[in-house]
Amino acid sequence: MGKNLAQKIIEKHLLSGEMTPGSEISIRIDQTLTQDSTGTMAYLQFEAMGIDRVKTKKSVAYIDHNMLQAGFENADDHKYIQTVTSKHGIYFSRPGNGICHQVQLERFGVPGMTLLGSDSHTPTGGGIGMLAIGAGGLDVAVAMGGGPYYLPMPKVLKVNLRGKLTGFASAKDIILEVLRVLSVKGGVGKIVEYGGEGVKTLTVPERATITNMGAELGATTSIFPSDDITKEFLKAQGREEDFTEILPDADAVYDEEIEIDLSSITPLAATPHSPDNVKKVSDIGKIKVDQVAIGSCTNSSYMDMMKVAKILKGKTVHPDVSLVIAPGSKQVLNTLAQNGALADMVAAGARILESACGPCIGMGQAPRTNAVSLRTFNRNFEGRSGTKSAQVYLVSPETAAYSAICGVLSDPTELGDRIEITQPDSFMVNDNMVLAPAPEGNDVEVVRGPNIKEFPLNKKLEGDIDCKTLIKVEDNITTDHIMPSNAKLLPYRSNIPYLADFCLTPCDPEFPKRAKENGGGIIVGGSNYGQGSSREHAALAPLYLGIRAVIAKSFARIHMANLINSGILPLAFENENDYENISEGDNLVIENPAEQIQAGSLIKVLNKTNGKTINTIITLSSRQKDMILAGGLINYMRSMNN
């Protein structure tokens, strides 16, 4: 039986387990990446493991998220990451060098390798045929130390691409169409593998836009074959030697398959407040626009920026629109500066931001009250822009640029002829903003600012859990709800006690206070609880507040792993209707959870307030079972070492 691409790479890296969907496997990790907002925690955890040097083929630490330096905190964290990485053998991408996923794709990614990153958009690397997975910082720390990465063997879903894009339809519109078809839950437990004739019509940056936003499907990762187009890209990056061809077998078998006809795609937009609320731009109509933001790890490549520059050339941004542009990397920005495209953008009135995440993570450029903001980003969750009342639409760079000129949401098809940008034969390669680590044996002082606090640790699971339901939330709660991130909070990513006071506040501002007053408790959620970011702060802050369990209809992949790593019980209703049988404030009792977990996956929860017994399911591998019983991954590792 022929193998698909995902199976081929997993098989090569398999350390344990059977490759049957759903059963736990572990794989060897070749490369890791961290970024600064999850990185401080990951390196604190790496230090706690007491390992001297990283054991991966290449590990890179990026500074790209927490770039506003309104106080000492972010700069302190940058210095900590710079020194701790130098000491332990990790490359350091300096602030200004670009967004982690864009730079990793340009400079370090290798087809066929595995990459684990402490950021949910790590699957961008799938654009060059890597098996690139996002995870919590602790899992990445373990991988840096040479440990395996555990995951349930995903199903493989093939997206068969037919035909060719026409007019002003772009890669962003392809992934928006996939999101429309599959929804934000459609990829859970799956690897999305792209195949079919249409693949040959897409450049690497276009493929990377698609794999990047596969994160919004909830997928484990997304991947394209590594073919001649990949080779051309790597050659232009001066890295032809990193190329290997990786294709699925001709008779490859897939668990599921869908088909997308590229020639039928027209410009699309994800309307507020979810990436799968997708409609045709032409159907939404000419709504007035206040802000346009172009950039992020989804759409900030050279090709994207050149299209934007061409649309803006000789025009002026509409008087009622603020247009901000953040090229994805120093390489991209430098090229635009050299070939004059940057001048065209500036002349048109664009506000140029540094090469970083910026407004995508609410680091500045919060729109005005009730604003309509068009963004080429990947997430439009309510409030993520920094303005709760803002209406954020996710669109392609072409739609964004054209609308910025028009002042209303506009279909770029009106521009007439499709803009074709060719990839340069060689990109501007200059890695002077990447610092190599200190040679092994050198003494490096790790600099820790006062903002860096210890991370919370759970205790061994013992006795009964008898506590209150502190909050009950609905479906699709994101990690942005659980642990909001914005310009004011991001500087505290290495300070859980501070952050905990903002936990779940978008759902209920009183939640942290109530959790503290009750000495902890239980959270009740709907389906896909914890979708979005990989931030383990969404588990660590609840842990700090004494949360013992989350009972939900279903969980998002990375968040569920982060809960288990923190020793918090992720319990899924056996019968979703039981969601109605718990109200906020109800007193819940889980008798001897340790014994129940040892006995199997059924966990009985007694609602003392209404007398009902609710069956829940905990899905754990035997390793995760030991981890939960030990009180989380760090305690588990410590117990293994003793």
Residues in contact with ligand MIC by CB under 6 A are 37-38, 65, 119-121, 134, 361, 485, 532-535
Return the number of the residue (78 or 318) whose C-beta is nearest ligand MIC.
Answer: 78
Q: What is the three-class DSSP state of 25?
A: strand
> Measuring CA to CA, which residue among 509, 520, 560 is closest to residue 542?
520
**In the bound complex, what is the minimum distance in angstroms from residue 481's beta carbon to ligand MIC?**
12
Q: Are strands 58-62 and 91-93 parallel, antiparallel or unpaired?
A: parallel
With the C-alpha atoms ordered 251, 254, 257, 262, is the resulting torsion angle positive or negative?
negative
> What's the length of the chain?
642
- Spell out the residues 6+ positions from residue 568 whose beta carbon is closer than 8 angstroms to its own: 458, 539, 542, 543, 547, 548, 549, 550
Token pair in block for residue 297: 């790890």
Return the number of the residue (113 or 361) whose C-beta is nearest ligand SF4.
Answer: 361
> Measuring CA to CA, which residue among 175, 242, 170 is closest to residue 203?
170
**In the bound complex, what is the minimum distance in angstroms from residue 559's beta carbon to ligand MIC?**
10
Q: What is the three-class DSSP state of 561?
A: helix
Long-range Cβ contact pairs of 605-608 (< 8 A, separation 24 or more): 605/551, 605/571, 607/581, 607/582
Return the number of the residue (236 or 297) whose C-beta is nearest ligand MIC.
Answer: 297
Is 121 a binding residue for ligand SF4 by CB under 6 A? The answer is yes
CB atoms within 10 A of CB 414: 10
Return the number of the residue (377 or 455) whose C-beta is nearest ligand SF4.
Answer: 377
Return the number of the residue (359 or 532) whose C-beta is nearest ligand MIC.
Answer: 532
Is 119 a binding residue for ligand SF4 by CB under 6 A? The answer is yes
534, interface contact from ligand MIC, ligand SF4, none, CB < 5-8 Å by kind: ligand MIC
**In the bound complex, what is the minimum distance in angstroms from residue 211's beta carbon to ligand SF4?**
13
Token pair in block for residue 212: 């990047």
Return the number of the residue (42 or 333) whose C-beta is nearest ligand MIC.
Answer: 42
Adjacent-strand bridge partners of 14: 27
Determine which residue in the list 376, 378, 387, 476 makes contact with ligand SF4, applying CB under 6 A. 378
CA Rg value for the chain: 24
99, interface contact from ligand SF4, ligand MIC, none, CB < 5-8 Å by kind: ligand SF4
**In the bound complex, what is the minimum distance in angstroms from residue 155's beta carbon to ligand SF4?**
25
Q: What is the DSSP letter of 105?
A: I
Q: What is the DSSP letter of 399?
A: H
- Per CB under 6 A, which of residues 75..114 are in contact with ligand SF4? 99
Is 209 a binding residue for ligand SF4 by CB under 6 A? The answer is no
Determine which residue in the list 360, 394, 582, 618 makes contact with ligand SF4, applying CB under 6 A. 360
Contact between 205 and 298 (Cβ < 8 Å): no
Return the number of the residue (535 or 557) whose C-beta is nearest ligand MIC.
Answer: 535
Is 382 a binding residue for ligand SF4 by CB under 6 A? The answer is no
Is 355 a binding residue for ligand SF4 by CB under 6 A? The answer is no
Return the number of the residue (327 or 570) whose C-beta is nearest ligand SF4.
Answer: 327
For the CA atoms of 162, 166, 168, 174, the dihedral, rounded to the nearest 10 degrees, stands at: 0
Q: What is the three-class DSSP state of 252?
A: strand
Q: What is the three-class DSSP state of 565?
A: helix
What is the distance between the alpha carbons of residues 100 and 62, in angstroms, rounded to a whole number?
6
**In the bound complex, what is the minimum distance in angstroms from residue 150's beta carbon to ligand SF4?**
24
104, interface contact from ligand SF4, ligand MIC, none, CB < 5-8 Å by kind: none
Return the number of the residue (37 or 237) whose C-beta is nearest ligand MIC.
Answer: 37
Is 361 a binding residue for ligand SF4 by CB under 6 A? The answer is yes
Token pair in block for residue 310: 């061409």
Per-residue b or e along 52-89, where b marks 16 or more CB atoms closer than 10 Å to that residue's CB: ebbebebbbbbbbbbbeeeeebbbbbbebbbbbbbbbb
**In the bound complex, what is the minimum distance in angstroms from residue 533's beta carbon to ligand MIC?**
3
**In the bound complex, what is the minimum distance in angstroms from residue 162's beta carbon to ligand SF4?**
29
Name the one residue in this structure whose structure tokens are 């109605």. Answer: 580
**In the bound complex, what is the minimum distance in angstroms from residue 532's beta carbon to ligand SF4?**
9
Q: Tell me the per-residue interface mask from 277 to 296 with ligand SF4, x by CB under 6 A, - otherwise.
A: -------------------x
**In the bound complex, what is the minimum distance in angstroms from residue 266's beta carbon to ligand SF4?**
25
Q: What is the DSSP letter of 366?
A: P
Token pair in block for residue 135: 């995870």
The window from 335-343, 354-362, 435-443, 509-517 that contacts ligand SF4 (CB under 6 A) reads 354-362
Is 461 a binding residue for ligand SF4 by CB under 6 A? The answer is no
Is 357 a binding residue for ligand SF4 by CB under 6 A? The answer is yes
Residues near ligand SF4 (CB under 6 A): 65, 99, 119, 121, 296-297, 357, 360-361, 377-378
